Chains A and B, each alone.
Chain A
């Protein structure tokens, strides 16, 4: 993918400023229709999900007290994984978006909620709600584009270190919550610019470490201890549940913005962006996952990533209902509503991670026949001087 503005067939070229203005108004109307009908059923929905989560978590942890007995281990681990997924996705993510603030219940409110995850809610809200949702898919602005550690767009410069991207992307996926915590802390940037002594950074780092400490103590000390002789199996079960949750949420998030065909945008394209243009960016910068109701709940309705990005603060249980109206607008304005089943989107996202770990054009230019010479070229690109790399990269692009 290349930023939309540089594409030969810019998919929004056919839209006039008036079209975009009108589209914005139509989307505003959809949003208002949900706000006008928010009510008791929605409140019951989120309370039910929270109730189910708490009981499932308690039940699973209780079963894991007997984790030395293999069937109990399996059952407890599955239950706890599902509970943790529910808690992070349909509950935590959405409450922290303020989707349920309208209920005025101080126990279910974006300013009071804390979630079962390494990154403290406050810091995540800043990097996610303020930065990612505002600058969605704008290169150089939206750090979620590869989280500062991955190359997910042709227009991000290739350096040899990206060759390892598939590997560390996988490691990052397994320990996603810590990756997110470090990312929300802007750890990479702070270290790179030598600002680790900044008192504000120190304060936030302490907060993160405190949160991680409590999380680790709960899953890897307290609950294993409570299991007595089953200390080790319970510890293992909790570890597996955390990894399963991490892999799942990472997959869902990859599906949201990284599949092939999702558009990215140039930094200067958002100068003076109108509400309508902002909507268009959200429409083209997100991808949905099609599937069953259970799939939607387990993804925290981020399977409706497009609807979520258009209306981040509408209650998640209403996205399914407005999806057909949103899709109709895509059709009306000749835009591509990007939706596919989970396995396709995951494959597509990982394909991109592999492809972009390599220099632009390299994969296209490679056939079984020329593989040896291509590998030699790659070796030269990776080990040669900057000038050599630049020359070879250019040639590779030209050949593609």
Chain B
């Protein structure tokens, strides 16, 4: 499959340069505020504004999942199917950022895109999005990103292994397949019951139309599928490129199996959360050298979360250790990588870059921010 990004016409940059100049002039009249602070009152989705979106509808899929229709701001760039978008939404007055795979077809007539969210127990953002969000809500957005996409050269045969909300990026891919693209697709999807299958009806239709071969595993009655049974279900597995998204143990089992089979390079996985192994180490005092905040963090809380809870504005991205959007220099002290348990130390004055979203304090430490 190929995706062509619309090439911006040559008048675009000139227009935006002109706009920048006009804004600079207008700033003389609005200082210390910016012209955009006033424009945001009337048109938060305009071109040139910080990227935002408006929630247009919340469509329920299953008892705990819903598709959120979002109208993005004018500067939104089309995504590549399989990618995710970061969304900043205020829950109980506090801005929370989370990543969600895009599930809609490209170029929807209404200009919107969709994400599909499964509410997890005690999940702050997922429950808010599924159960309490009102149409009209403005959310913050980043441009879509992510590597869980089909390659330029589409393979002939593909296998998708998904579970629960892990179907979302795969649905984003399936919905955007051209008729002659990927003609041999197997999808193995696990969910507790038939009713819990997100996009169940649509997937069954695709199967009935012969577009995909669908294997549904209802784990409440049939139990979990292990990698060996998947291999049994798909005898030509080694010939297929495989994309998998679901709970961490499932992904780890698949990776192990594919590795043992010597086809690890044909497996692509998407994780929704980091694999935490460390978590019971000692915490410590975290000092942010530039803004002067000092806080106590335990050994299992990522520094990113602890700092945000203390009101510090932190750079962040995926919040699970893949995008490096949260990296800050560690000036002094030690932090522990929660995925590996490995401790990184910095002598005073050093600037070792650490990912705050997957690092916890391991004793006192100072971070440049």
Contact = CB atoms under 8 A, between A and B. Distances in A.
A104 B28 contact: no
A78 to B, nearest CB: 20
Contacts of A211: 32
A114 B32 contact: yes
Interface in B292-349: 308, 311-313
B29 A54 contact: no
B313 A111 contact: yes
Interface in B23-41: 28-33, 37-38, 41
Report whether over half of chain A's contact residues are helix, strand or loop; otherwise say mixed: helix
Given A42-B93, A43-B90, A103-B95, A51 B311 contact: no
A112 B33 CA distance: 11
Nearest to B96: A104
Contact of B311 (A41, A101, A218, A223): A101
Interface string A115-127: 1100000000000
B313 A109 contact: yes
A39 B313 contact: no
A115 B41 contact: no
B28 A102 contact: no
A98 B293 CA distance: 12
A340 interface: no
Interface in B93-113: 93-96
Main secondary structure, interface of B, reads mixed
Contacts of A116: 32-33
A103 B29 contact: no
A38 B93 CA distance: 8
Interface string B231-275: 000000000000000000000000000000000000000000000
Range class of the A interface residue count: 20 to 34
Contacts of B122: none
Contacts of B311: 98, 101-102, 104
B29 A43 contact: no
B92 interface: yes
Contacts of B93: 38-44, 102-103
B176 to A, nearest CB: 33
Interface string B143-173: 0000000000000000000000000000000
A38 B91 CA distance: 11
Given A112-B313, A218-B28, A54 B95 contact: no
B41 A51 contact: yes
Contact of B313 (A38, A104, A226): A104
Interface string A273-306: 0000000000000000000000000000000000
A40 B31 contact: no
A366 interface: no
A215 B31 contact: yes
A202 interface: no
A106 interface: yes
A105 B52 CA distance: 13
A131 interface: no
A35 to B, nearest CB: 11
B313 A218 contact: no
A117 to B, nearest CB: 8
A112 B311 CA distance: 13
A290 B200 CA distance: 62
Contacts of B32: 114-116, 211, 214-215
13 contacts: A51-B41, A54-B38, A58-B38, A98-B311, A102-B311, A109-B313, A111-B313, A114-B33, A116-B33, A214-B31, A218-B30, A218-B31, A223-B29
